[in-house]
Structure 1
């Protein structure tokens, strides 16, 4: 039986040269992800007639700035040993090192402030942004491929990732192939974007619920993807810090949805208290 073995090659350089210009591929992927997210969110906002695409672009600029600051701070704080002796490396985001949980927190906070200043309901803004954020993550994760970073454990699967000798972690032989966790997360985020768009089209959810579903879907993926990664990271009780954070977010999402369901059922029961009380004790109508 013929066995076909393949693998995903890594790029020979993390930069692209366009004439005299040198563009870091990591930054390019992030930029493309942001552009796609603003485009999708703008279309969704105009379809709902709550804001123009120009409004979304302006909000997006603020959200991106907040997201980049939050993402870098999260990465620095959770990998402080790497930066403690080289504080000048903290702003060097073009070398990689952005923590998505911090990026989400910073981007959502600043973006919602900008939306509120423009008179947009923040819950509606969250729902508009939910699939767009997932799309941005699906594209942006390819920056890790260009930088040959954040891959997983060794594997011989046909889609294993090749790493050049300069990036192979200590203790692994030259030619070892690894799980392409960037690809797993990219595909997961792209599928999540599609699911959120489908849910938004087929179901009628209360404002803000679609973003809650995004959080649940995204961090569910992070639980198992983080479990494959081998890059150094703080761990507690055998799980990486990001896995515990993802589990905490998932618990919060489940509790939020359950409480909302119970409150909704209680509100309906308060309304449906029985027969129409206005008919009790009323005089029978005359029939002519």
Structure 2
């Protein structure tokens, strides 16, 4: 089909370099840049974030892969070598975020950094990186939804190159990558605008706002996708279950922490490195 995009950006010594990888790396680089710029404003050091990323990135990749393999275990037990074939796909966003989040707790406590404050600084960059990364899924021709019609896609006023690339396996597909990407970009803009306001967010609430915002969208968009991981032998989608838990848990944490936290702990007024979580 005219205008159909190739997933390969270029090759190096015969090895294909995919747009997916380029966009993921670009998103991570932008997230790090945003975090290092914000760090001094809240009393943290920029180096803390680059040092964290050095270890968190490989941990996140391992976590993303393990999460994917765990919920599609029979296939990988039948051919265990495929566990290591990450170039064939199979990295789950939630798995990467959970693994990096666990490491973040250990990292911040080891360096006597306020864990919630650290999360607040990285959250805007993370949601922006997710929005960018979904375009990697688009170019990889994956993470799409069920069958639809060309007229439906045209009714969304999408550019021709998106419509053409939503023709996959003999049918037009729901552009679920686009729904999530736009939601992430909107969330990034809102967080950046609101966090500059005095006495709106307390420490940790930028991060919790990200969790609530993203999990709300992911619950619904996951229901449209055709490549979901299911909770073992059930018809329950893993990402929908986790999204529901994170959405409810995020709101509950905001309410609980506001009841326990003193007024002086609003984010804008905090400039210490006390560690608590």
User: Alpha carbons of 1:125 and 1:148: their partners in 2 closer, same or farther (altered >3 Å)?
Assistant: same
Q: Provide runs of 4+ in structure 1 moved above 6 Å.
A: none
What CA distance in whole angstroms lies between the structure 2 residues aligned with 1:98 and 1:243? 16
Alignment of 1:82-231 (within 5 A): 82-156=75-149, 157-158=153-154, 159=158, 161-162=163-164, 168=169, 174=170, 176-204=171-199, 205-231=201-227
For 1:192 and 1:206, locate their aligned partners in 2 and report how far apart those are by CA, in whole Å.
18
* Pairwise CA distance, 1:25: 2.1
| Alignment gaps of 5+ in structure 2 | 264-277
1:118-151, Cα deviation, whole Å (9 max, x unpaired): 3321111010011111011111122211221110
Which structure has more RCO (C-alpha within 8 Å, separation ≥ 6)? Answer: 2
Return the TM-score normalized by structure 2.
Answer: 0.81
For residues 219 and 72 of structure 2, the distance between their equivalents in structure 1, rounded to whole angstroms, comes to: 19
Structure showing greater Rg: 1
Q: Which moved more, 1:224-233 or 1:107-116?
A: 107-116
Give, in whole Å, the separation in 1 of the partners of 2:193 and 2:122: 14
Structure 1's 85 and 117: CA in aligned 2 closer, same or farther, altered over 3 A? Answer: same
Matches of 1:124 and 1:216 in 2, distance apart?
A: 17
Change in Cα spacing, 1:139 to 1:155, as seen in structure 2 (3 Å) is same
State the partner residue of 1:44: 38
Stretches of structure 1 that go unaligned for 5 or more consecutive residues are 1-6, 169-173, 269-288
Q: Alpha carbons of 1:8 and 1:215: their partners in 2 closer, same or farther (altered >3 Å)?
A: farther
Report if the CA contact (8 A) 2:134-2:178 is conserved.
yes
Q: Kindly state the Cα deviation for residue 233 of structure 1 after the two structures are TM-superposed.
A: 3.1
Greater share of helix residues, 1 or 2?
2
Taking structure 1 as reference, are residues 164 and 187 closer, same or farther at Cα in structure 2, changes over 3 Å only?
closer
- 8 Å contact 1:67–1:102 — kept in the other structure? yes
Hey, what does 1:4 align to over in structure 2? none
Tell me if 1:255 matches 2:248: no
C-alpha deviation, 1:208, in angstroms: 1.2
Kept in 1, the 8 Å contact 2:166–2:175? The answer is: no
What SS does the aligned partner of 1:202 have?
coil
Distance 1:219 1:147, change over 3 A: same
Deviates most, 150-159 or 227-236:
227-236
Question: Offset of 1:30 from its aligned partner?
Answer: 1.4
Q: How many residues align?
A: 251
Residues 24 and 94, structure 1, Cα contact 8 Å, conserved in 2: no
Task: Check whether the contact 2:222–2:228 (CA below 8 A) recurs between aligned residues.
Answer: no
Distance 1:49 1:258 in 2: 26
1:80 aligns with 2:73: yes
